[in-house]
Structure 1
Amino acid sequence: MPSSFAAAKVNLYLRVTGRRADGYHLLDSLAVFAGVGDEVAAAPTDTLTLSVGGPEAGALAAEADNLVLRAARALATEAGVAPYAALTLTKRLPVASGIGGGSADAAAALRVLDALWGTAAGAARLRRVAATLGADVPVCVESRPARMGGIGEVLEEAPPLPRFGLLLANPRIALATPAVFRARGGGFSAPAAMPPRLADAAGLAAWLRPLGNDLEAAAVSLCPAVADVLAAIAARPGCLLARMSGSGATCFGIFPDPAAAEREAAALPGGWWRWGGALIPGS
């Protein structure tokens, strides 16, 4: 039974650079993938089903049509096969949290069903299907560091990144992305200039610091707890940078190494969702 890890996507910076005529905002962001995530597995059957388990499964109980099922139907249509599979989603990431949990799940479903159905779609074709499911899904198909442009679907290779530790924390308050964009004020930002090779985690944090997240103020206005999480991360010994990911409410901290991030995550309030460690291998 094929299975695939759906790693959390973290936006190290996020700039809103414009808005299309259809209302979608244009972005510039650098995404990396943490060593924590969900898991999607698939087995052959004569219908299409989805079972959801794991510590964060309860948040999806009221969902009428999970993005994993939509991914399955989209790939089946693209490949001309029957959309039959018994899918299992193990949910470990909080929902509506700015780390691409649903998008990563959809991308993982595309990968496992490509294997189960023998469609041999390849990464480019899977990204094309992924783009029909949501702006964050294409970058999750290969789950490796990438610069995101357009509405998220335009991908470029990321600059070389040094080894660093990553801490993630969420106050367990869901934030809807459309609401955060509606609450955003101000104009647009210029795309970032990519750096030369960065020597270490401190150099990465120094480069990222002025770039910011253009959605952070809007998220704080809707969910003041985001500011509490940011302050708590920034106060941990060794934290080089604290910032919100995506549209929130998950925030992250950059640390000199994964061990420091893991240690400091454990010191955060126990009522929050929290994790610390390294990026996934290959990142």
Structure 2
Amino acid sequence: MALASKSSSRVELARAKVNLALHITGRQPDGYHLLDSLVVFPQIGDRLAIEAADALELRIEGPFARDLTGPAEDNLILKAVRSFAEKAGIDVPQVRLTLTKRLPVASGIGGGSTDAATTLRLLEDLTGTYLDDEDQHALALTLGADVPVCLFPEPQIMRGIGGDLSPGPDLPTCGIVLVNPRVGVSTPEVFKAMERRENAPMDLMPEKFETLASLVAYLETCRNDLQDAAKSLCPEIGLVLSELEAEPRINLARMSGSGATCFGLCELRDTMEIERTLRVAHPDWWIASGPLS
């Protein structure tokens, strides 16, 4: 198909999806768990570039490229391209996508989901074909339960099985440090190891947090209900959390999603120095830092 601009190319940061709080509030008869979660998208992520080409092509590079195993045709980015074309009623776009994989794979921060959602946004801009919100959400949901929330990388509240989305609060200027011990953890096994699945939802959330202290005070009333189960399966998570909690410049430490990535919230001015300190102590860990939003 003819693209909006044959000479155009676009690049976007596919931001990590971080669960600042994750409450498991029940389980449906079909096995899907119900959740109540505050999700944010820090300025940390994969890099995705798209440009016109002679055929559909996906190139993968970066530090975690080799961890994306399996046939290329099964990659969620290519599935997103083909599904977008089908939903939009257009030919499959002839584009070259280049993914610089900076986020660890299967690590509780939605790397594959945010890559797919970013692909959909880039395709709309490059082709000049825009789906309405309902069609876009439905398309994203066919690609994965976490893809819809990644379509709009801003604070959001996820409820239900993840598809019930509403705008999250305004966040203060602050920083986040992400740490992954480079040890895999199985999401199904984490859910299986949970001792309790009927938990209270998050407390009523204000529309805006003026300061890091007010955000932390609220988050201290919250939990990640998967954290203990994940720690029982992957003791390295406990070590990461202990290191983050021992760092005096970190105001709150918690695991994201089903792990094994953990985060620490801090003042923005301290992020780089905390990252450097942790890298010296644990050169085998994946560590990244940046603004929270």
Give the TM-score taking structure 1 as reference length: 0.93
Question: SS state of the match for residue 267, structure 1?
Answer: helix
For the 8 Å contact 1:237–1:264, the answer to whether it is kept is no
Say yes or no: does 1:262 pair with 2:275: no
Distance change (3 Å), C-alpha of 1:116 and 1:242: same
- Counterpart check, 1:235 vs 2:246: yes
CA-to-aligned-CA distance 1:144-188 (integer Å, 9 cap, x gap)? 000011111111111232222111100011223222112212131
Q: Is the Cα–Cα contact under 8 Å of residues 159 and 194 in structure 1 kept in the other structure?
A: no
1:20 aligns with 2:28: yes
- 1:3-14 alignment, distance < 5 Å: 3-14=11-22
Give the structure 1 partner of residue 5 of structure 2. Answer: none
SS in 1 for 2:44: strand
CA apart distance, 1:93? 0.3
Whether the aligned pair in 1 keeps the contact of 2:155 and 2:170 (CA below 8 Å) is no
Look up the equivalent residue of 1:118 and give its one-letter code: G
Residue aligned with 2:222, SS: coil
Separation in structure 2 between the aligned mates of residue 174 and residue 278 of structure 1, nearest angstrom: 26
- 2:288 paired with 1:275: yes
Structure 1 position 124, deviation (Å): 4.6
Whole-Å Cα distance in 1 between the matches of residues 44 and 131 of structure 2? 26
User: What is the CA-CA distance between 1:275 and the residue it aligns to?
Assistant: 1.2
What's the CA shift for 1:122?
4.7
Structure 1 contact 106–137 (Cα < 8 Å) conserved: yes
How far off its partner does 1:232 sit? Answer: 0.5
| Partner Cα separation in structure 1 for residue 116 and residue 90 of structure 2 | 18
Among 251, 266, 270, the residue aligned to 2:262:
251
Equivalent residue in structure 1 for 2:187, among 174, 177, 192: 177
- In structure 2, how many angstroms separate the alpha carbons of the residues matched to 1:179 and 1:118? 42
Matched, 1:109 2:154: no
With normalisation by structure 2, the TM-score equals: 0.90
Between the aligned partners of 1:249 and 1:258, the Cα distance in structure 2 is 23
Q: How many residues align?
A: 279
Contact 1:17 1:188 in 2 (8 A): yes
1:126-275 matches, cutoff 5 A: 126-196=136-206, 197-255=208-266, 257-268=267-278, 269-275=282-288
Residue 43 of structure 1 and its aligned partner are, at CA, apart by 2.3
3-state SS in 2 of match to 1:2: strand
Instruction: Note the C-alpha offset of 1:41.
Output: 1.9
Identity of aligned residues (%): 48
Structure 2, gaps ≥5 residues long: 1-8
CA distance in 2, matches of 1:155, 1:108: 18
Deviation at 1:272, TM superposition (A): 0.6
Higher radius of gyration, 1 or 2: 2
Task: Determine the C-alpha separation between the residues in 1 that align with 2:44 and 2:132.
Answer: 25
Please report the RMSD computed on the Cα atoms of aligned residues, expressed in angstroms: 1.6
Residue equivalent to 1:83: 92
- Structure 2 Cα separation of the partners of residues 181 and 82 of structure 1: 40
SS, match of residue 244 in structure 2 = helix
Match of 2:80 in 1: 71
Amino acid at match of 1:244: M
Q: What's the CA shift for 1:34?
A: 1.0
> Contact 1:4–1:109 at 8 Å: present in 2 too?
no
Contact 1:16 1:189 in 2 (8 A): yes
Q: Distance in 1 between matches of 2:92 and 2:188?
A: 30
Task: State the partner residue of 2:128.
Answer: 118
Picking from 93, 97, 106, the partner of 2:103 is 93
Bigger shift: residues 166-175 or 56-65: 56-65
Q: Deviations over 1:43-64 (max 9, x none)?
A: 2334332110011111114455
Which amino acid is the alignment partner of residue 160 of structure 1?
A: D
